[in-house]
Structure 1
């Protein structure tokens, strides 16, 4: 007779646990996920991904949003960064994907909108809410993605904007900076995984516990109700601070000369035709966010 009462009891407990988890998820303001090696994206609503016939609205492409303000040492009004965003905008429109321009800076500049961080769990500018402890076997800190949820008023505005421009989704892209962890390449070498099928070797004398400075293009896809469906980033170019500066705990940031090289000179020599690194990163970002081949 006792066994008859165990199943209903477990069932009730399971329902209560699921209900409490659902309630906690609704109350939480953000979500942190550990990324597997070589992954740079997270799908939050798998059943709501766009199809080929979906209408995609492109919000203005800008510099890093306000969510990851800590230790931000780059001038958002720097002409080279503005030139980079203009170049990315032009290149996005050259891709074989139909996008509708949605020139709403109100949505992109709002502090109530969603935010996304992709990078090392121990990076200098990782949001405080995105902390993730290393696991016992981790030699290097893990790559994480943190999604800061949008406020209700931003979602309402996003819904109104999507309806105005008759789009099913809103695509948001921005230039950002983060730190990526190193990883081993063979027995003695090190490398940094920058993005989709993209890695670069790190100099031999480089401290294991020091991350690599990376310029990345980040983005998210939101539905017409303002919910984030998928988000992620592609690292474009990196800088590994020289060892003697690492010993002094000094970080060497990416300079304007390095950033300007992206526009015309930095190329992926590992790919047929040596395409521009920026072009490959943009195409990978759009393809990954929309889950389609371009």
Structure 2
């Protein structure tokens, strides 16, 4: 993807900004800052990061905000640090910490036992989300209920951990620190991985550092800090994002006219089970289409 940093009026431009979110800010705060920098109110983000987390936050401008919902299902990558030996009310360092393990318990935890435990969390697993997640319970976010002193019981859900590597294991002041790198499906809670690893080893565990390094095709190589964006506002045009994210179909003039009004198209050989990015002869991104039997039908149209 080729970023745009010209004199283009970003208040009317459609595209994606990949932010390297700093610790201490909510995703909502980052969106507000991008809104001011771009001079537009039409700004949204895909894949919330907790305030303590850093790294890739994908932000959409103008019509690209509608594309975000189609990007949220992408796999993600994280680097994280787990502290074994103590549990947390929030499964991370921001909660109330409760020591679980004795010195003898921690002494029994070896690199080999950690590797064995980690192996059990690879592949498709059933995971109970953290109680302080944004999942709604009877109309209210789980974290709101927890902070109000309520007991919250969330249902397990199926997630896929395609990579779960132990990068480093070292003694820390409060327990054993374990650095990990994870590739996972959307809906995976890294805090829950920390909690469950500690439980599997019988010593408790919680997350102390989290950095998201990739969301789908967007990695750290295309991310910019808020300070950098304040100096040079860099955006990935919506056409580049669509072309790099989805299979591409270049329509002729007659097909493009139909696509602009969201009409079904017969006879197109689009990739089964995937959305396809539809472009007109000038290279303008028009819509996302999917095959439905003998027809290709729109899932979203981005031009009028």
TM-score normalized with structure 1 length:
0.23
Computing the radius of gyration from Cα coordinates, the structure with the larger value is 2
TM-score normalized with structure 2 length:
0.22
